[in-house]
Chains A and B, each alone.
Chain A
């Protein structure tokens, strides 16, 4: 998917057909991205039910606004943009950030200093079949501040390019890079001591446990 800028011709044809009165082609158009739309919404909201609802809303909104889509942009990026905006609106509406997430008020410009130097030997990817490991990773991710979480999810989970992340979130490429670096380093600080010691149990990341 990466490396082919602009709109692919099949998508272009689908959009054309939809606009010419074949709305039933719409699902075909969004299907390749339905997962990404959900994940983008989840990155903002951290809640599966809300993320699903927002994903649906975003996709319907994309249909309603299809005429505003400009072919210079990538359809997927445009779609994710809508999802991120919808999710942010929902978050503001719900005041969902009751728990203060980590790193939210940290100075983005300052250098982040790693706190933990535990030797994290590579764990086999089969470990992901274990629920505790998945829970641990998702919990660590959820504890990041929104602006770091958004960038990390779009880049390292969705594999968007730096440029696409910047477009999706409406921030500069430099900000994407700064936040990504910080997100990765914070996650490493959270995970390294547990993974190094093989503690995959679901102890919450309590205040005292946090490296910052």
Chain B
């Protein structure tokens, strides 16, 4: 077997990690690394960093990126209508009890949301940063007393939260929804204040 020195090992480390190396060279390299502390450190460290950087969680696109992109495409391309928020549909599918406010029989009461969408959308920007509890069902604005922070929380946009199946907390979203939209929401979903 050919012997390699430290410099040769460093030159080949990338190919070695990627598995793009001639078997003979691989054997020689492994033989050297086995007895060389410096090369072991370099190889392990390089491997570790490649693994860490390849993790999806490291590199996150900005909040709302996807939504803004769709918006931009819709606005620029011919023949495409604006994309509106669909979280109220998600509300319809989920029966909820929030504090003293009950969403009664919401499954059956799926209303026609389109007509009032613009109205609702004006009040609650899809890019609004909201907070969700990992085990909860609602999204909140920061500081909402109904947000349970015990199980860990995440921040994302209203639109992303909605995509993940979260629905707005009626308490803290009220100020964003505005009174008109709020009344509409309550009426539409059969919410009865306790």
Contacts and interface: CB of A to CB of B under 8 A. Distances in A.
Nearest to B7: A111
10 contacts: A22-B79, A27-B73, A59-B73, A60-B72, A113-B7, A120-B48, A157-B59, A177-B15, A184-B50, A185-B42
Interface in A21-45: 21-24, 26-27, 31, 34-35, 38-39, 42
Sorting the interface of chain A by its residue count into under 10, 10 to 19, 20 to 34 or 35 or more gives 35 or more
B70 interface: yes
Contact of A113 (B10, B50, B57, B77): B10
A24 B78 CA distance: 8
Interface in B157-178: none
B46 interface: yes
Nearest to A118: B41
B97 to A, nearest CB: 31
Given A117-B41, A120-B48, A56 B69 contact: yes
A63 B52 contact: no
Given A24-B80, A38-B65, A188-B42, A56 B72 contact: yes
Contacts of A210: none
A162 B18 CA distance: 10
A167 interface: no
Identify whether the interface residues of B are mostly helix, strand, loop, or mixed. Answer: helix
Given A24-B79, A185-B10, 15 more contacts: A26-B77, A34-B66, A38-B65, A39-B59, A56-B69, A114-B38, A117-B41, A120-B41, A120-B44, A122-B48, A128-B58, A156-B50, A157-B53, A185-B42, A195-B48
Nearest to B62: A48
A151 B112 CA distance: 50
B125 interface: no
Interface stretch (A73-81, A85-93, A134-142): A134-142
Contacts of A192: 41, 45
B46 A52 contact: no
Contacts of A22: 79
A157 B49 CA distance: 11
Interface of A: 21-24, 26-27, 31, 34-35, 38-39, 42, 48, 52, 55-56, 59-60, 63, 111-114, 117-123, 125, 127-129, 134, 137-138, 141, 152, 156-157, 159, 162, 177, 180-181, 184-185, 187-188, 191-192, 195
A26 B73 contact: yes
Given A113-B10, A141-B53, A23 B42 contact: no
Contacts of B66: 31, 34
Contacts of A114: 10, 38, 42
Interface in B78-110: 78-80
B77 A63 contact: yes
Given A118-B41, A184-B14, A52 B65 contact: yes
Nearest to B43: A188
B46 A184 contact: yes
